[in-house]
């Protein structure tokens, strides 16, 4: 932590939070969907377009040089943030979803064959299910699932039975977006590697709420998005081990990713550009770099500690509301800054509408995790998610809002 963490001061650094919604000060509890952006990040994006905008790796001119430096500089920042072995292992994508699809296509199509198995879990976001369903269908492979226990944790007792010599890929989320469950990725990676499978991690939430060290986690691919960690939308990262990225065919073809183009065959650019066809989202990358600067300055440990404080407070307050059912792990050690719940027989959409009239933004629905909803026998949940700019006042406002829900649905 570089300086004392003051939640109110932190909140003031995010312009979008300083507004009134439906007559009340905005309380933003939907950061698991997307985070708000600090002034520093917005300024860097503006400055990029106003002063440096040019295409990267093409021009000899000054602006192109500056744009390229900013773009590649951002890559280095992200590489350090996740402790990648080298910058070239960081591939820019449009987000977590594209990053997972990249692995499914560029690694999966060449390495998964009929009768092979792909192991995922019931906890996954649809973005870490559908790419594997598509791959399995094309390769006639079998998709298998790690089940959940009653608290929404992965049931890992039979992991060894689920893994076998046909298992080619294990794809798992670091942190669940719907329940906040933190998964023991390191342990799963060890078991998967012992069985000869590669490990792909959906880090869309993990990169936001945990201190990520891809080398320590021992995984092969780690995918995450800029917009959930104070950066802009439309930019994300696939980190992958060099030896795997080297042996993979390109994902998309086009400019930037080529070396020499012939009539029938061409050769590919070196990493990371082999996987970055077309003019990339330069401003997005630069913005994500600025977000990493911002987060590094605050310190991931300070963020985790603040979120833990908020979660303890929110748990205590929400639990005391009659009719409250909270989903997910009961131990805060096993969960991140997300609380999924249902209140009596009030449907999550009704809860969301009532809270919205108080200026409180939460998410209602299946959270792109229909298998999780099915596991708990519900069609939808209400989800409040927290980030570094939330305060205990936000929790109090949520609780007051839920009391209004009870007055109506009581």
Partner 1 sequence: MESPQLSSLYQQLILEHYRNPRHKAELDEKTVEVHMANPVCGDEIRLQLRIEGDVITEAKFLGQGCSISQASVSMMTTKLQGARLEEADALARRFTEMMHGDEHAAADALLGDLRSLQGVSKFPVRIKCALLGFEALQEALQDDRDEVTH
By the rule CB under 8 A, 350 interacts with partner 1: yes
User: 223: part of which helix (H) or strand (E)?
Assistant: strand 221-225
By the rule CB under 8 A, 353 interacts with partner 1: yes
Segment near partner 1 (CB under 8 A), from 67-75, 214-222, 287-295, 339-347? Answer: 339-347
Nearer to partner 1 by Cβ, of 261 and 408: the residue is 408
Q: Taking the CA of residue 31 as centre, how many other CA atoms within 13 Å lie in the half-sphere pointing to its CB? A: 28
Pick the catalytic residue: 109, 324, 368, 399? 368
By the rule CB under 8 A, 407 interacts with partner 1: yes
- Long-range CB pairs of 319-324, under 8 A, 24+ apart, other chains included: 321/399, 321/402, 321/403, 321/406, 322/406, 323/406
**Min dist. Cβ of residue 338 to partner 1 (A):** 18
State yes or no: is 230 an active-site residue.
Answer: no
Closest to 245 measured CA to CA, from 219, 272, 218, 267: 272
Question: Cβ(339)–Cβ(318) under 8 Å?
Answer: yes
**Min dist. Cβ of residue 224 to partner 1 (A):** 24
Question: Cβ(389)–Cβ(11) under 8 Å?
Answer: yes
**Min dist. Cβ of residue 367 to partner 1 (A):** 10
Nearer to partner 1 by Cβ, of 267 and 353: the residue is 353
Name the CA dihedral angle for 239, 241, 243, 246, rounded to a multiple of 10 degrees: 0
- How far apart are alpha carbons 85 and 79 in whole angstroms? 8
Q: What separation in angstroms does the CA of 407 have from each of 335, 365, 400?
A: 30, 22, 11
By the rule CB under 8 A, 255 interacts with partner 1: no
Segment near partner 1 (CB under 8 A), from 181-189, 274-282, 304-312, 357-365? Answer: 357-365
The alpha-helical segments, DSSP class H, found in 198-320 are 206-209, 214-217, 242-247, 282-298, 300-319
Segment near partner 1 (CB under 8 A), from 13-21, 204-212, 293-301, 347-355? Answer: 347-355
Segment near partner 1 (CB under 8 A), from 69-77, 257-265, 267-275, 341-349? Answer: 341-349
Write out the binding residues for partner 1, residues 360-379 only, by CB under 8 A. Answer: 364-366, 370, 373, 379
Nearer to partner 1 by Cβ, of 178 and 391: the residue is 178
By the rule CB under 8 A, 357 interacts with partner 1: yes
User: 351: part of which helix (H) or strand (E)?
Assistant: helix 348-356
By the rule CB under 8 A, 348 interacts with partner 1: yes
* Member of 16, 137, 261, 408 binding partner 1 (CB under 8 A): 408
Residues 6+ apart with CB under 8 A from 379: 366, 373
Nearer to partner 1 by Cβ, of 97 and 210: the residue is 97
User: Site residues (CB under 8 A) for partner 1?
Assistant: 22-23, 345-350, 353-354, 357, 364-366, 370, 373, 379-380, 404, 407-409
State the catalytic residues. Answer: 368
């Amino acid at each position: 932590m570089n300086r004392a963490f003051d939640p109110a001061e932190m909140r003031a650094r995010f312009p979008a939070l300083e507004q009134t919604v439906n007559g009340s000060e905005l309380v933003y509890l939907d950061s698991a969907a997307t985070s708000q952006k600090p002034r520093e990040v917005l300024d860097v994006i503006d400055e990029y377009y106003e002063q440096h905008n040019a295409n990267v790796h093409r021009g000899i001119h000054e602006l192109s040089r500056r744009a390229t430096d900013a773009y590649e500089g951002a890559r280095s920042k992200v590489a350090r943030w996740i402790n990648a072995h080298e910058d070239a292992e960081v591939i820019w994508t449009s987000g977590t979803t594209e990053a997972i699809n990249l692995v499914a296509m560029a690694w999966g199509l060449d390495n998964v064959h009929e009768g092979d198995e792909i192991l995922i879990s019931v906890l996954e976001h649809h973005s870490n299910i559908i790419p594997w369903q598509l791959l399995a269908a094309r390769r006639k492979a079998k998709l298998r699932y790690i089940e959940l226990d009653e608290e929404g944790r992965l049931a890992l007792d039979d992991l060894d039975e689920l893994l076998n010599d046909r298992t080619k890929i294990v794809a798992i989320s670091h942190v669940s977006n719907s329940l906040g469950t933190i998964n023991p990725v390191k342990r799963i990676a060890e078991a998967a590697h012992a069985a000869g499978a590669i490990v792909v991690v959906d880090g869309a939430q993990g990169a936001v709420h945990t201190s990520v060290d891809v080398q320590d986690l021992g995984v092969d691919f780690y995918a995450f998005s800029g917009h959930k960690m104070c950066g802009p939308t439309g930019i994300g990262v696939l980190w992958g081990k060099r030896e795997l990225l080297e042996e993979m065919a390109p994902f998309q073809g086009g400019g930037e990713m080529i070396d020499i183009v012939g009539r029938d065959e061409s050769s590919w650019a070196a990493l990371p550009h082999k996987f970055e066809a077309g003019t990339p989202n330069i401003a997005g990358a630069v913005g994500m770099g600025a977000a990493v600067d911002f987060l590094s300055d605050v310190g991931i440990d300070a963020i985790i500690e603040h979120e833990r404080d908020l979660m303890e407070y929110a748990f205590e307050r929400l639990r005391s509301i009659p009719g409250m059912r909270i989903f997910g792990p009961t131990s805060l050690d096993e969960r991140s800054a997300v609380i999924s719940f249902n209140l009596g027989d009030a449907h999550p959409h009704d809860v969301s509408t009532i809270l919205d009239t108080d200026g409180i933004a939460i998410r209602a629905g299946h959270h792109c995790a229909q298998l999780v909803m099915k596991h708990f026998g519900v069609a939808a949940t209400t989800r409040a998610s927290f980030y570094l700019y939330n305060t205990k006042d936000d929790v109090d406002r949520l609780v007051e809002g839920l009391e209004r829900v009870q007055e109506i649905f009581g």
